[in-house]
């Protein structure tokens, strides 16, 4: 499609959005790094969401032994898949050209894909492409769309909207990411225009299990799906890392019975202040005896 046909032209690279995804090896021992096995990207015009350009390629790592001979996924990447693929150095010009000077978008790209791209270009002895902006749909959707789709990973979002199963192949995941964003945007648009009817009426799927990942633990712990937003908010408050649950032993005991009410506490303070005013009690003694009342 010719971008000049659009009401808003995408002639400027700075306004074009490139959705990207990488598939890599997974380090299995200390000191081992990630190796890019596949790169996929689609450039869109933001005004009409028209596809302007796309590029995808398998990539052969320097050490083929780090690639599994079999994949647990259908159409997964195996050693045979990449044995005849170009090395990263052979496709780095094309990858640089499609990425540099554009807005990058993708799911969890700030923590993963952007880092891997910089590493790959550094290993090739080249300067990496530079984006004019980065849109990480994982962070954006967690903030705007809530956790109605469980852990908000691509697989959970695709299941929530009935978009099929994530294939973990670059071009398939790029297009799925784009469709997920369009679905989320539609729901948010409807909710914003019909707040009294739609907002807060969503319910997470019973088939989705949320998972949390700690910084020091690469494993994940499943937790039950919350049935409504109120329960979700309460649960997040209880289990927040910033606000851990307080045990009974950590609660400070009150110097008065809860049933005594505020009246008795107020009267004790008045009595202490009255004695101090008439000079019948030194200030140090006043503070000593008033501490249990006011703490």
Catalytic residues: 168
> Which pairing describes strands 221-223 and 210-212: parallel, antiparallel, or unpaired?
antiparallel
Give the burial class of 35: count Cβ atoms within 10 A of its Cβ; 0-12 exposed, 13-18 middle, 19 or more buried: buried
- Tokens 């596809």 — which residue? 51
Residue that the structure tokens 């606000």 belong to: 243
On whether the CB atoms of residues 46 and 58 are closer than 8 A, the answer is no
Residues shown for the chain: 295
Pair 188, 198: CB distance under 8 Å? no
- Angle of helix 261-277 relative to helix 283-294, nearest 10 degrees? 170
Q: Cβ(52)–Cβ(3) under 8 Å? A: yes
- DSSP letter at 229 equals H
Q: Which two tokens stand for residue 97?
A: 């050209």
Neighbouring CB atoms inside 10 A of 104's CB total 23
The tokens 């049935």 sit on which residue? 227
* Long-range contacts, stretch 189-196, CB < 8 angstroms, 24+ apart: none
Angle of CA points 129, 135, 138, to nearest 5°: 125
Q: Is there a contact between 132 and 40 (Cβ–Cβ < 8 Å)?
A: no
In 126-137, which positions are buried (b, 16+ CB within 10 angstroms) versus exposed (e)?
A: eebbebeeebbb
């Amino acid at each position: 499609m010719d971008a000049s046909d659009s009401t808003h032209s995408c002639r400027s690279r700075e306004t074009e959005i490139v959705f990207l995804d990488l598939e890599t090896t997974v380090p299995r021992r200390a000191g081992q790094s990630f190796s890019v096995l596949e790169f996929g990207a689609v450039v869109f015009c933001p005004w009409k969401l028209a596809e302007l350009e796309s590029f995808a390629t398998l990539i052969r790592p320097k050490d083929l032994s780090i690639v599994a001979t079999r994949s647990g996924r259908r159409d997964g990447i195996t050693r045979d898949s990449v044995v005849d693929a170009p090395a990263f150095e052979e496709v780095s010009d094309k990858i640089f050209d499609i990425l540099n000077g554009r807005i990058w978008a993708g799911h969890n790209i700030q923590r993963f894909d952007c880092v891997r791209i910089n590493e790959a270009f550094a290993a090739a002895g080249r300067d990496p492409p530079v984006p004019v902006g980065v849109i990480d749909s994982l962070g954006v959707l967690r903030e705007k769309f809530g956790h109605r789709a469980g852990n908000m990973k691509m697989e959970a979002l695709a299941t929530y909207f009935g978009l099929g199963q994530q294939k973990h192949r670059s071009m398939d995941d790029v297009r799925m990411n784009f469709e997920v964003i369009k679905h989320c945007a539609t729901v948010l648009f409807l909710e914003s225009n019909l707040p009294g009817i739609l907002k807060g009426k969503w319910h997470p799927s019973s088939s989705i299990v949320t998972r949390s990942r700690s910084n020091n633990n690469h494993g994940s712990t499943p937790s039950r799906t919350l049935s409504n937003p109120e329960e979700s908010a309460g649960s997040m408050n209880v289990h927040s890392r910033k606000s851990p649950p307080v045990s009974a032993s950590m609660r400070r005991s009150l110097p008065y019975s809860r049933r005594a009410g505020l009246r008795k506490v107020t009267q004790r303070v008045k009595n202490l202040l009255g004695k101090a005013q008439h000079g019948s009690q030194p200030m140090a003694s006043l503070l000593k005896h008033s501490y249990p009342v006011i703490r």
